Amino acid sequence: MDAVSVASDLLGPTATEDPYALFAELREREPVCWSEAHRAWLVTRYADVAAAFQNKRLSSDRVRPMLAARATEGVPAAADEILSMMSEWMVLSDPPAHTRLRRLAAAAFRGQRIAALEGRIGELVDGFLDGFVAGGHRDLIEHVAYPLPATVIAEMLGAPPADRDRFRRWSGELGLVAFGAGGDARPDRHERALGGLREMFEYFTELAEIRRAAPTGDMLSALLGTEGPDGAALRPDELVGMCSLLLFAGHETTTNSIANGVLTLLKHPDQLARLRGHPELIPSAVEELLRIEGPIKTLVRWVVEDHELGGRTIRNGERVYLLISSANRDPDRFADPERLDLGRAPNPHIAFGRGVHACIGAQLARIEMRVALDRILGRLPELALTEDQLTWNCSLASRSLAALPVTHRAPR
């Protein structure tokens, strides 16, 4: 198989189930490779990906150029409306707009505020594990890994936890578009995603009005009360967009991080035993699990100026896919990168990105992973995979399981 064939197969069954052999071949044979299938450059080596995060000629503001290009492509109207509604999202903007939005959002993500959530996160994990055991359930995603971050972000935003099923539906429908689903995606995915996005925007518009009249200590109230250096606060559309982004990004990736981490441990019983015997390794274990099986495979950038990248000339108006999952297994940066080492140090993985667009919720995600792993391993003795076939969701952007069926010997 040549490099071009590999690059054309990122949504194929092999790449969906286990993309790492394909990434390794690309790193070795053509680390910056044009994919005709995806109409994008694929960047696979750590040094190139890390440098790209700092490269101002690669833009995160890829929605507006896509809208302009789509005018002649006959794309469904729903797709254009989705992009228009997402165009103000912080992760899809560049400085100075991004700088302003991130500064305003940072007030809701102050380290002290996030660290104070650890006790509550522990209570939530214990509650979900109680229900998981008492109900005789097997899918750790459905009953623990999903409801934990969904409930955390709901409480942070001041939304009733009972609404998390609505959040899941909205996020699932938007994910069919935002995460680059494969050819088996529903033909009506744009209409479904648009419907979910409209409902989400309406929901947060109403919730913002409630908090504006009666502020509390939640994140939404903090966002409403924050002003930038120029004295300007978030506009109503920016506020609703920020809440929608935090909801969408704030639980989807953490769900996948927890599930992928547990799966990786179960597939490496020596390291699982090591962690059970030395729970003080949990912080470094979280970093290694994020490195070797993180929740995000690909981040997209838009070329705004011709330049060289990895010895190839990339041109204004082209797309670049930064393959984080490949970079985090680059032997030029990590010794024995395919080996799971829960004590690995240093561990400069880029699972949360780098630079001005580094994930603003990284601290929260780490806390949730640490607490979840500690409780799951402590309360589910002899945790093991079932014989059920695992299914990875077909996506360019995310690395996620459809379900994680397990067995254990915890008493009901």
Report the percentage of the chain scoring pLDDT > 90.
53
Give the domains, in start order, of the chain with CATH numbers.
3-407 (1.10.630.10)
pLDDT at 226: 67
Binned at pLDDT 50, 70 and 90, residue 26 comes out as very high
CA dist 136 → 123, 128, 383, 407 (Å): 20, 12, 14, 9
pLDDT over 60 at 257, yes or no: yes
Which residue has better confidence, 376 or 397? Answer: 376
pLDDT over 60 at 264, yes or no: yes
Token code pair at residue 117: 């959530």
Report the percentage of the chain scoring pLDDT > 70.
90
Range of lowest pLDDT (81-85, 98-102, 249-253, 295-299):
81-85
- Tens digit of pLDDT for each residue in 105-122? 887 788 888 999 999 999
CA dihedral in degrees (174, 21, 339, 389; nearest 10)? 60
pLDDT at 183: 44
405 bridge partner residues? 139
pLDDT at 69: 63
Which residue has better confidence, 329 or 12? Answer: 329
pLDDT at 185: 52
pLDDT at 303: 96
Which residue has better confidence, 86 or 296? Answer: 296
* Mean pLDDT score across all residues of the chain: 87
Specify the 3-state DSSP secondary structure of 345: coil
pLDDT over 70 at 231, yes or no: no
Positive or negative: CA dihedral 155, 156, 157, 158: positive
pLDDT over 60 at 195, yes or no: yes
**pTM (2 d.p.):** 0.91
pLDDT over 90 at 175, yes or no: no
- Say if strands 40-43 and 319-323 run parallel, antiparallel, or are unpaired: parallel
Q: Which long-range contacts (CB under 8 A, 24 or more apart) does 111-117 make?
A: 111/363, 114/363, 114/364, 114/367, 115/363, 115/367, 117/152, 117/156, 117/364, 117/367
Please give the span between the terminal C-alpha atoms of the chain, in angstroms, as a whole number.
Answer: 51
Which residue has better confidence, 303 or 106? Answer: 303
pLDDT at 288: 98
Q: How far apart are CA 408 and CA 387, in angstroms?
A: 13
Please state the length of the chain: 412
One-letter amino acid at 297 equals K
CA 371 to chain centre: 18
pLDDT over 80 at 187, yes or no: no
